Structure 1
Amino acid sequence: MRIDLFTVVVDDYDPAIEFFVGVLGFELAEDSPSLTNDGRPKRWVVVRPPGAETGILLARADGDHQAPPSGTRWRGGWGSSCGSTTSTRPTGG
């Protein structure tokens, strides 16, 4: 079994990228425009440790139902909630 991506829900992409890339030394593997299921713009952002195959998909919360639980602020100022995702890239982006 192999895990291609693991999802971390963030409040904002750029502070999360700065934390993973600038602080932890991860590589920015991808930062591409994408769309939500109902056609609204968002980004497909993947970071990974240097040389690693498994990446972290930084997913921005889409409404209160996906917002990180209160009190889960990371040092970089963004919320974090974890889950898993498939390795299939979304269509439309």
Structure 2
Amino acid sequence: MNQSIAHMALVVKDYDEAIEFYTKKLHFTLIEDTYQPEQDKRWVIVAPPNNSEKSIAPKTALLLARASSPLQESFIGNQAGGRVFMFLSTDDFWRDYNDMLSKDIKFKREPKVTDYGTVAVFEDLYGNLWDLVEFVPGHPFSLQ
């Protein structure tokens, strides 16, 4: 059996501001932005840069899904109930951490070295919490 998680839906307030944040501040690639007239919505897919074949799930991407009801709007920025929601793995923690600081990304927890790698918690444009993590070599999710 060969399976992977293809997309994770992330509820956003506005497609264009979310695309701007993920592509300009996090350097994600815009994979697709297609209007779906039958549902009056867009199919917007973004993915981290260099989403290589050697990673565990090389095609994992975010589906930026604009909230379409008051209930969905209530989850914008708090999709994981205040816990870290996403984990952005990197091959160079300090390069990306410093780049994110220069782009005014807000870090909620400062960098910390752990047995599994170097990690810090940041907020996306809506307040969802993310780990920026460089896993130690040999870790199953290490990009090195």
Structure 2 alignment gaps of length 5 or more: 52-58, 79-122, 129-144
**Aligned residue in 2 for 1:59:** 65
Instruction: Flag the 1:67–1:9 CA change in 2: closer, same or farther, 3 A.
Output: same
Q: Does the CA-based 8 Å contact 1:9-1:61 persist in structure 2?
A: yes
Note the C-alpha offset of 1:41.
0.9
* TM-score where L is the length of structure 1: 0.68
Corresponding residue pairs, total: 75
Q: Distance in 2 between matches of 1:33 and 1:18?
A: 17
Identity score, percent: 40
Structure 1 unaligned blocks of 5 or more: 81-93
Cα 1:67–1:79 change in 2 (3 A) is farther
Which whole-Å deviations, capped at 9, do the CAs of 1:5-54 have from their partners, x for residues lacking one?
Answer: 0111000000100000000000000000114xxx4411000000123211
Q: Normalising by structure 2, what TM-score?
A: 0.46
Higher relative contact order structure (alpha carbons within 8 Å, sequence separation ≥ 6) = 1
The root-mean-square deviation of aligned C-alpha atoms, in Å, is 2.2
How far apart are residue 63 of structure 1 and its match?
A: 1.0
**Radius of gyration: which is bigger?**
2
